[in-house]
Amino acid sequence: MQPQVEHVLEKLEHLSPDRLAEVEDFIDFLSQRDQDKRLRRDYVQASEAVFNKVWDNDDDAIYDSQ
């Protein structure tokens, strides 16, 4: 196990049950936020090719220079 993880575990052992619940909620929040960021990135990457087909055309080329 990583030393940093061991250090955090040692600190957790000294917290009250209420504080442990808060820590768990915060960990869940961080995990959800990271997942949301990954999903947004994946959506952007997945849609780029589709949008390029729509946006990259001769009819709309006049707007490319503006």
DSSP code string of 1-66: --HHHHHHHHHHTTS-HHHHHHHHHHHHHHHHHHHHHHHHHHHHHHHHHHHHHHHSSGGGHHHHT-
- Judge whether 48 lies within some domain: yes
Give a yes or no: residue 30 inside a domain: yes
Domain-located, residue 21: yes
List the chain residues with pLDDT less than 70: 66
Evaluate whether residue 4 is within a structural domain. Answer: no
Determine, yes or no, domain membership for 10.
Answer: no
pTM, 2 dp:
0.63
Range of the domain at 54: 16-64
* pLDDT value of position 27: 97
pLDDT of residue 1: 84
| 45 DSSP 8-state letter | H
User: Does residue 50 belong to any structural domain of this protein?
Assistant: yes
